[in-house]
Amino acid sequence: MTSIEITPAEAIDRQRRGAVLIDVREAHERALGMAEGARGVAMETLIADAQAHLPDRDVEVLLICQGGMRSLRTAETLLLQGFANVASVAGGTSRWADESLPLVKPVGDIDTDFAERYSRHLRLPQVGMEGQRRLEAARVLMIGAGGLGSPAAYYLAAAGVGTLRIADDDVVDRSNLQRQILHTEAGIGTPKVESAARTLSALNPRTAIEPVAERVGSANVERLLEGVDVVVDGADNFPARYLLNDACVKLGKPLVYGAVHRFEGQASVFDAGRHRGHAPCYRCLFPEPPPPEAAPNCAEAGVLGVLPGVIGLIQATEAIKLILGIGVPLSGRLLHFDALSMRFRETRLAADPDCPVCAPGRAFPGYIDYAAFCAGG
């Protein structure tokens, strides 16, 4: 302990004798709770213009952060700037809480469950309170509660997405359990959307689950997409993929794509509906579906059980980034994963200026018989 560090108990005693206590954490961190009586001024803000926040250089200043390091560095900087009476609270807010000293929530406080459940998000500047509230207000459509939908839905619910609408008309089968981690032995024979709703609600009761026991088709796709911010494609067949793509282009929804086959998977983001001429759609990548014999489903070809977990988590990551508006999405890039060699590779994708669905200025051609289209009819 250096000479400018004090204990939380000493800080309270000095507060009572007129010292000023400043919490130098970021606002999203302070939202979880602050030492009682502290003022919130982020470290960089305070260092940049200490005089504006501490006009009296003779006042005793106590600094606190989360664990004591930032406040110590700030104290050392203020001493160099000419503030003669500065100390840092050793152990920070964590030690303050461990010693059962009084904590308060800032104005616009959050409930305890929210603060504890999302505390690691709230400490991220790229998420923070604003981002977590954005996740809480978001609505995501998940097509399929199987191999891809299971891990994607699990992590979207855990992350705090407010509403998950899950569409799947299948029931749980024992063969699903090798990879579809939303389901258990006890759920065999029950609709997948019901099994998914039970599992996800047990994980995070703050997330509203809207189970839709229907297969996506031209008649219901726009109803399923109504009001959602992001669509996650966990379908296992080409007709559904082309249909989802066309509907998302028409309605301007970002589509997070994923597919798996034996030991390989791929993922991308198709956002042509919002960025025509710049972002490609699924049809730009696959103008024509492969013949059925060239792309057997998992039941026919088999799939490594953990593979959908890898791809589904990538899909969940992309969906969260799209909701938060952070990072660089996979739009215009197709990510390939080979589990046997443990290698990722990336293929650049360009928007097709002649795409029948997403070309700039082209009117929506209408939904087609996707089953016939994918069968070569």
- What does the H/E/C string look like for 150-201? HHHHHHHHHHCCCEEEEECCCECCHHHHHCCCCCCHHHCCCEHHHHHHHHHH
Which of 77, 109, 141 terminates a domain? The answer is 109
Domain membership of residue 202 (yes or no) is yes
Do residue 90 and residue 164 come from a single domain?
Answer: no
* Model pTM above 0.85: no
Do residue 214 and residue 325 come from a single domain?
Answer: yes
Count of domains forming the chain: 2
The number of C-alpha atoms within 13 Å of 86 and in the hemisphere containing its C-beta is 21
Domain membership of residue 73 (yes or no) is yes
pLDDT of residue 27: 80
Do residue 97 and residue 58 come from a single domain?
Answer: yes
The CATH number covering residue 54 comes to 3.40.250.10
Which of 76, 109, 142 terminates a domain? The answer is 109
Q: Which of 351, 40, 309 lies closest to 150, judged by CA?
A: 309
pLDDT of residue 293: 60
Do residue 49 and residue 140 come from a single domain?
Answer: no
Tokens of 109: 């406080």
pLDDT per residue over 292-337, tens digit each?
Answer: 665 566 666 789 999 999 999 999 999 999 999 999 999 999 999 9
Which of 109, 139, 173 terminates a domain? The answer is 109
The CATH number covering residue 162 comes to 3.40.50.720
pLDDT per residue over 226-253, tens digit each?
Answer: 999 999 999 989 999 999 999 999 999 9
Catalytic residues, by residue number, are 298
Do residue 181 and residue 286 come from a single domain?
Answer: yes
Do residue 243 and residue 319 come from a single domain?
Answer: yes
Residue 11 CB partners (closer than 8 Å, separation 6+): 19, 21, 35, 62, 64, 87, 89
Query: Phi-psi bin for 171: left (phi > 0), alpha (psi -120 to 50), beta?
Result: beta
Domain membership of residue 114 (yes or no) is no
Do residue 195 and residue 88 come from a single domain?
Answer: no
Torsion 293-297-301-307 (CA) sign:
positive
pLDDT per residue over 153-191, tens digit each?
Answer: 999 999 999 999 999 999 999 999 999 999 999 999 999
The DSSP code for 303 is B
How many residues in the chain?
A: 377
Quote the CA–CA distance of 186 and 280 in Å, as a whole number.
Answer: 42
Structural domain that includes position 77 = 5-109
Do residue 290 and residue 185 come from a single domain?
Answer: yes
Domain membership of residue 117 (yes or no) is no
Residues of the chain with pLDDT below 50 are: 1-2
Do residue 136 and residue 97 come from a single domain?
Answer: no
pLDDT of residue 2: 41
Domain membership of residue 54 (yes or no) is yes
Tokens of 80: 């160099």
Backbone phi, psi, residue 128, to 5°: 60, -165
pLDDT of residue 296: 64
Do residue 270 and residue 315 come from a single domain?
Answer: yes
